[in-house]
Amino acid sequence: MQLDISLLPQEAVNRENKCIIVLDILRASSTIVTAFDAGCKSVLPVATVEEARQLKDENPAMLLCGERNGLPPQGFDLGNSPVEYTAQTVSGKDLILTTSNGTRAILGAERNSTVLIGSFLNLDAVLEKALSTGRDILIQCAGTDGAFSLEDTFAAALFTDAFNRRVCNLDIGDGARWALYSVKGMAPVKDDFSTFEIQTVLRNSAHGKRLAAAGFDDDLTFCARQDTTDVVPYLNADKLIVNKSEKE
């Protein structure tokens, strides 16, 4: 089994016939996972605010969700803060979601691949589901506005470490190996990172600093928590859903 990391959605890598794990730790993928954990029925990722508004006009029962510059555009029901996604707000609902980078990274994944949404919140569950596909794995970082992002690359390295501990003779690509070395050193086995250490990385990232300055510091604490849920959202045609058993 091969595993590699794509640091940016526009990177020229083969995305066909893989299991693609999309990571936008701050905050789209953490928010999507939280929405499903709170019982939402589906999430429709869309690229633009205009498209999202039009879909809402056509489907008034759907919730219009997302952000630009970190804040909900005018008329949106919810923003992109995971703490807004509770059973009270989203249980049983279908969501339309547009975010600056995360939803674009999802839309950029090849449709003949399995596309899973990963975060620290569901790391172990994503690992299991990805392995069950038997496919080569590509960890797709969303990045920030077309640039490298520390938090996604750090998470991709911890996912790589988890796969490497689990799979014998995992064929790790140079990008993934570089990320692994940079967070774990050359020694293959080191203790797990604590939630506090993950929070520190998120707080030191450029996007983490912007979110904290905009009043979303609680989101950094929230998104750094590990393995709080078993839900693994995946793309089914153009919508994200979860297997029912994951919410029973």
Minimum CB distance to ligand MLT smaller for 23 or for 157: 23
Minimum CB distance to ligand MLT smaller for 80 or for 164: 80
With CB atoms as reference, the residue minimizing the distance to ligand MLT is 99
| Smallest separation, CB 165 to ligand MLT (Å) | 28
Specify which residues 148 forms β-bridges with.
none
Give the footprint of ligand MLT on residues 53-82 (CB under 6 A): 67, 70, 80
224 binds ligand MLT (CB under 6 A): no
What is the Cα–Cα distance from 17 to 144, expressed in whole angstroms? 26
What is the Cα–Cα distance from 171 to 169, expressed in whole angstroms? 6
98 binds ligand MLT (CB under 6 A): no
- Interface with ligand MLT: number of residues (CB under 6 A): 12
Give the footprint of ligand MLT on residues 152-171 (CB under 6 A): none
Figure out which of the listed residues 8, 20, 26, 32 binds ligand MLT, where binding follows CB under 6 A. Answer: 26
Minimum CB distance to ligand MLT smaller for 16 or for 218: 218
What is the Cα–Cα distance from 83 to 216, expressed in whole angstroms? 10
Sheet hosting strand 171-172, strand order edge to edge: 63-66, 94-98, 42-45, 239-241, 234-236, 114-118, 19-23, 137-141, 2-6, 171-172
* Stretch touching ligand MLT by CB under 6 A, among 25-33, 125-133, 185-193, 196-204: 25-33
| Matching residue, tokens 């039009």 | 54
Question: At 64, is the secondary structure helix, strand, or coil?
Answer: strand
Residues 6+ apart with CB under 8 A from 202: 25, 26, 151, 208, 220, 223, 224
| Smallest separation, CB 246 to ligand MLT (Å) | 23
The residues that touch ligand MLT, with contacts defined as CB under 6 A, are: 24, 26-28, 67, 70, 80, 99-102, 211
